Structure 1
Amino acid sequence: MYDILIKNGRVIDGSGTPWFYGDIAVSGGKIVKISRPIRETAWRIIDVRGNIVCPGFIDIHSHSDLALLVNPLAESKVRQGVTLEVGGNCGHSPAPVTDRWEEDLKRELKINYGLKLQWRGFGEFLDIIQTRGISVNYASLVGHEAVRKCVLGYRNTRPSAEDLHKMGDMVSNAMKQGAFGISTGLIYPPGSYADTDEIIFLAGIAGNCGGYYATHMRDEGDHLLEAVKEAVLIGERAGIPVQISHHKAVGKPNWGKVKDSLALMEEARERGIDVTCDQYPYTAASTNLSSIIPDRFHDGGSGELIRKLKDPQIRKELKKEITREQLNKGGWAVIFISSVGCSKNKWLEGKNLEEIGKALSKDPCDAALELIIEEKDRVEMIRFGMDEGDIRCVMKHRLTMIGSDGSARANYGVLGTGKPHPRSYGTFARVLGRYVREEKVLTLEEAVKKMTGLPAWRLGIKDRGLLKEGNWADITVFDPGKIEDTATYFEPHRYARGILYVIVNGRLVIDEGEHTGELSGMVLRKNQKRVQII
């Protein structure tokens, strides 16, 4: 008597091999038998009638760290088939924490999520998530920015030898406590203040502990190729595998460069440097509005930035520089406000800065800077700038995995506010619906591998990501003819369609398309050797 028996499915095992008809039996949280037919019975028999049965999707680039504390159901992710969220990306991890940035984190938790800070160490944060319970599995990287803020705060300065070793000890401790590697966000101050040698030193520590290096590179536009070369250099000098995050080329003059950047990755692999990348399938990015402001003005943190923005002389210099830069990136109409904190500014959500400038009778740059001041640097934006042809090119490449670069959300509560990027709701369904079924950029087997077996290999997890007897039963069942993303930039809080069942560690979390409320997810900690599948 099995716990769950899935019958008559078209099985895609996550390795890239062709699908086959088969039944899958689950007991004790594990896959115990894959065969056709399985004649024994089970407490729950699910006849999937020729739909696709595959490993649960692994979101290799997620920002769900704090969202899982707000709403452990992970609605927007599990409803598109995700069973494992990988957090701590782009240099941002909620831990470790020291006095240097504790107050800022407390303020963020309270204002954005209504949470209290209850941890300081990396392992403590993982413990809290596991204790509260989650519907998906969770793994995390340690963020370079978090480590730097712990030691240096928000200062634009080079660390002393003592400072660097303090940071190294924090990375080492995080790795011992379960981190899967280290991440950087080299366009975000104070992470952007680090030079290459600093990153090599810290990445080397993570690499010695068996981790990988995920990087939001210094540039994804005019200097894309130089940024890829830096990422490769860090991997080579630190002796660590490299994951280039959300790979893309931003700005029309840079469209087409991804062919050269992908070639650089292949060349690096020929030299023995393990480099791969991930991608979300949209032509717009999303981040904080203050990222339009050059790095040097961020020295000292948000409070100091706002003081500078109020200084007429600095404002004049800054406005000229930002305006020139933004004209090169498509003007103000490509930037949409996705989230604000003040109720009186809610009308701005979903509108672009050109529209907002006209409505307020202000220059769009002035409108943006004044909004940053009024909202105390808590404004999120969506910015268009990528080419659809580049998306297909990157997606087809053998080194590319799929990652949302979004957080788990819901169409209710705190996580249902604003107009966030639709990638949080639709990434995996969009790949399977638009790019597999409609445009045939990938086969089903290729797409599933990029969402399962390949990211599991990058993480070094041997017992997930593949449908294999003895592996954990993280399983997604979807209708290949109906799966699609429904979230849009203007109506983003819409769940994906076509996901029929999602099993996490042997328990049904999505049953006939509906969330069961199960909190069967686990916090995963780095403790396994890497396996090779590419």
Structure 2
Amino acid sequence: MEFDLLIVGGKIFDGTGNPWFYGDIGVLNDKISFIGSAKGMDAKIIIDARGLAVSPGFIDMHSHSDLELLVDGRAISKIHQGVTLEVVGNCGSSAAPLNDLMKVYMEKFVLPEFEGQIKLDWSTMGEYFNKLEKGGISVNVASHVGHSTVRSYVMGFVNREPTRNELEEMKRLVAEAMMDGAVGLSTGLIYPPSCYAKTEEIIELAKVVAQYGGIYASHIRGEGATLLEAVKEAIRIGEEAGIPVEISHFKASGKLNWGKIRDAAKLIEEARNRGVDVTADQYPYIASSTSLSALLPDWAHEGGAEKLLERLKNPEDLIKIKVHLEGYSKREPDYWDRIMISYLEKNKQFLGKTISEISRILGLNPVDTVIKLLLDEESRVSHISFGMCEEDVEFAMKLPWVMVGSDGSAVAPEGVLGKGKPHPRYYGTFPRVLGVYSRERKIISLEQAIRKMTYLPAWRLGFRDRGIIREGAYADIVVFNPETVKDNAIFTDPHQLPTGIIHVIVNGVPVVFNGKHTGAKPGRVLRKHIRK
């Protein structure tokens, strides 16, 4: 028998957490058609995996590559980590649905960094999916529908409860996205306009998603002082809506909150014990990253970025904003030493520098420095915050219901996607779990690490034929060297590919071969069509 592809002699980690075993894998078309001894068998392509690990392709449970994949479908920084499925539409923000007003807003405040390489010629989730596939993608893609996106579509950036008609329109849009194949509903409850929603609004939308077998993925309302209250809210939403819950980038942020993750985990385990299906994902770093404007109070964002900039210029509003910002250093005196600028356009000399360092250069205090940067850059500034501790990261990684998600985008070392100094997680999340936390620190076994990247997220998403090495499953496969796999991206020099990821197969097609991208784009949009 001749296969399209044979992988021979490797240690097979099937993704379930079971012990590894030696074997050969035969691929025909896009499926794994044989597992066993391939002696006497032949193939068009034979990969010698002796001394290497063979596992299912990694699933990035929390990605933000929604727009980046339209610029470069090769997914350079992700495919070289072994990622074969990107789950986008997270933190309440998805690529669809869009109306004309939202497109105008995006043209001004979102798309400039992509230098005209994205044309907003879609409106629905289905149209976005079609555009992705038409352009070609090297990875598979699944998407949530974002709550902020849906709320913006219906209400804009207003801070109030929806009317009955507005809520019904949001429910209609969510249902439409689910029928188009979305896998769930996401919220970003620290970001406008999601942050303006009461719990009851989210429950009503989550009930719609539950009817289609989807999940609820949440950047919860607080990851620091209010972590426990925020976890309780997520659990309540899952319980009352009858929907599985995925808590995004599970952590306790801020020195005063270190260790609180144990109490949060206890809440989740208590919920699971009474039948509420709650899981989480994490990235293997002690720093987070988001927009610099996220440091401002919720009320300052009402009306969107244009209104925010107006408030930063209004003396009365500015006084209140400054008081809010001063609160960070009052609680943690070294706070501004731990906020590093990762993206801006006009003041590139400040990339990779902390707010404290920039303040000294400008001769301003940290609060005035933040305001100046936001005004100079028309709010388009991103930062990295060193706010977690290793003990919490390691604790979360040991939990059996925590999977891996980068919270990063598919970027590249060159071109329009090579700008700034993004968080190293964009390039190193999965190799770092394998190399640092499994091989070096032995926090989890290699079998456990791979399960968190493959079978566990596939199970959570309802993809029973992905994330596993099994006859009949899709041939999304990674071949890597467990002794040398390593993340190379660092905070001051993040645009570096990892080492040790040798081959990456997507739907039976080699996309990375001997460490090099082949240019192939066999990825698909994984549309979920389940109606209870």
TM class, shorter-chain normalised? over 0.9
1:442 — aligned with what?
A: 444
- 2:139 pairs, out of 115, 136, 150, with 136
Scaled by the length of structure 2, what TM-score is found?
0.98
Find 2:230's aligned residue among 220, 227, 230.
227
The CA distance in 1 between the partners of 2:108 and 2:465, in whole Å, is: 39
Residue 59 of structure 1 aligns to which amino acid in structure 2?
D
1:284 aligns with 2:282: no
2:261 and 2:335 map into 1 onto residues whose CA distance is 23
- 1:151 maps to a residue whose letter is V
Single out whichever of 288-297 and 35-44 deviates more from structure 2: 35-44
Identity of aligned residues (%): 51
The alpha carbon displacement at 1:109 in A equals 5.2
The residue number in structure 2 matching 1:469 is 471
* Alignment match, 1:104: 105
**For residues 361 and 218 of structure 1, what CA distance do their matches in structure 2 show?**
35
**Are 2:460 and 1:458 equivalent residues in the alignment?**
yes
Aligned counterparts of 1:265 and 1:99: Cα–Cα separation in 2 = 40
Structure 2 residue 33 is matched with structure 1 residue 32: yes
Name the CA distance, whole Å, in 2 between partners of 1:42 and 1:75: 27
**Alignment pair present for 1:203 and 2:220:** no
1:362 alignment counterpart: 364
Q: CA offset at residue 10 of structure 1?
A: 0.1
1:389-430, Cα deviation, whole Å (9 max, x unpaired): 000000000110000000001000111010000000000000
Q: What residue number does 1:376 align with?
A: 378
Q: Secondary structure at the match of 2:185?
A: strand
- Residue number among 298, 301, 304 corresponding to 1:298 in the alignment: 301
- Tell me which of 315, 325, 332 is aligned to 1:322: 325
Query: Secondary structure of 1:409's match?
Result: coil
Indicate if the aligned counterparts of 1:99 and 1:150 stay in contact, CA closer than 8 A.
Answer: no
Match for 1:392: what amino acid?
E
In structure 2, C-alpha distance between the alignment counterparts of 1:528 and 1:464, rounded to whole Å: 16
Match of 1:269 in 2: 272
User: C-alpha distance in 2, partners of 1:444/1:350?
Assistant: 33
Pick aligned residue for 1:155 from 140, 154, 158:
158
- 1:13-49 Cα deviation digits (max 9, x unpaired): 0000000000000011110000024431001111111
Residue type matched to 2:354 in 1?
Answer: N
Contact 1:189/1:295, CA 8 A, preserved across alignment: yes
CA 1:302–1:109: 2 relative to 1, 3 Å: closer
Bigger mean CA offset, 120-129 vs 93-102: 93-102
Q: Is the 8 A contact 1:350 1:419 kept in 2?
A: yes
Equivalent pairs counted in the alignment come to 528
Q: Which residue of 2 aligns with 1:50?
A: 51
Structure 1 distance, partners of 2:52, 2:329, is 47
In the alignment, structure 1 residue 341 sits paired with structure 2 residue 342: no
Alpha-carbon distance in 2 for matches of 1:79, 1:486 = 12
Rounded Cα–Cα distance in structure 1 between residues aligned with 2:124 and 2:240 = 28
1:58-112 C-alpha deviation (Å, 9 max, x unpaired) = 0000001100001110000000100000000000101001234221123345412
Q: For each residue in 1:228-252, what CA deviation from the matched residue of structure 2 results, as whole angstroms up to 9, or x when unmatched?
A: 0000000000000000000000011
Question: Contact 1:76/1:410 (CA < 8 Å) preserved in 2?
Answer: yes
Task: Give the whole-Å Cα distance in 1 for the aligned partners of 2:107 and 2:184.
Answer: 25
- Secondary structure of 2:408's counterpart equals coil
TM-superposed deviation, 1:2: 0.5
* Counterpart in the other structure of 2:8: 7
* Partner of residue 307 from structure 1, selected from 291, 307, 310: 310
Residue type matched to 1:284 in 2?
A
| Structure 2: distance between partners of 1:301 and 1:29 | 45
Aligned-partner Cα distance in 2 for 1:418–1:21: 43
AA paired with 1:40? M
User: For the Cα contact (< 8 Å) 2:211–2:531, is it kept in 1?
Assistant: no
Cα distance change on mapping 1:483 and 1:57 into 2, 3 Å: same
Inter-partner Cα distance in structure 2 for 1:384 and 1:123: 38
Counterpart residue type for residue 327 of structure 2 = R
CA distance in structure 2 between the aligned counterparts of 1:38 and 1:23, rounded to whole angstroms: 9
Matching residue within 392, 395, 400 for 2:394 = 392
Residue range with higher mean Cα deviation, 108-117 or 333-342: 108-117
* Deviation sequence 1:313-366 (CA, Å, 0-9, x none): 221222122111343244211100100022xx0001000000000000001110
Q: Deviations over 1:175-216 (max 9, x none)?
A: 000000000000001110000000000011001110000000
Q: Distance in 2 between matches of 1:457 and 1:326?
A: 42
Please report the RMSD computed on the Cα atoms of aligned residues, expressed in angstroms: 1.1
2:287/2:387 contact within 8 Å kept: yes
Query: C-alpha distance in 2, partners of 1:459/1:443?
Result: 24
Task: Indicate the residue corresponding to 2:352 in structure 1.
Answer: 350
Q: Tell me if structure 2 keeps the 8 A contact 1:100–1:149.
A: no
- Contact 1:100 / 1:152 at 8 angstroms: preserved in 2? no
SS at match of 2:450: helix
User: CA offset at residue 527 of structure 1?
Assistant: 2.5
The whole-number CA distance in structure 2 between the counterparts of 1:180 and 1:129 is: 16
Relative to structure 1, the CA distance from residue 213 to residue 509 in structure 2 (aligned partners, 3 Å threshold; closer, same or farther) is same
Match of 2:128 among 104, 125, 129: 125
The match for 2:432 is: 430
Does the Cα contact within 8 Å between 1:340 and 1:346 map onto a contact in 2?
A: yes
Whole-angstrom CA distance in 2 between matches of 1:463 and 1:317: 53
**Whole-Å Cα distance in 2 between the matches of residues 205 and 110 of structure 1?**
31
**Structure 1: gaps spanning 5 or more residues:** none
Matched position secondary structure for 2:368: helix
Q: Secondary structure at the match of 2:112?
A: helix
**2:174 partner letter:** V
SS state of the match for residue 141, structure 1?
A: strand
Q: Which amino acid aligns with 2:344?
A: V
1:488 aligns with 2:490: yes
What's the counterpart of residue 515 of structure 2? 513
* Deviation >4 Å, runs of 4+: none
Amino acid at match of 1:320: V
> What secondary structure, in the 3-state scheme, does the structure 1 residue paired with 2:8 have?
strand
Give the C-alpha shift of residue 437 in structure 1.
Answer: 0.5
Query: What amino acid is the match of 2:152?
Result: K
* Counterpart for residue 244 of structure 2: 241
Is contact 1:84-1:138 (8 Å) kept?
yes
Q: Tell me the CA shift for residue 529 of structure 1.
A: 9.0
Q: TM-score, normalised by structure 1?
A: 0.98
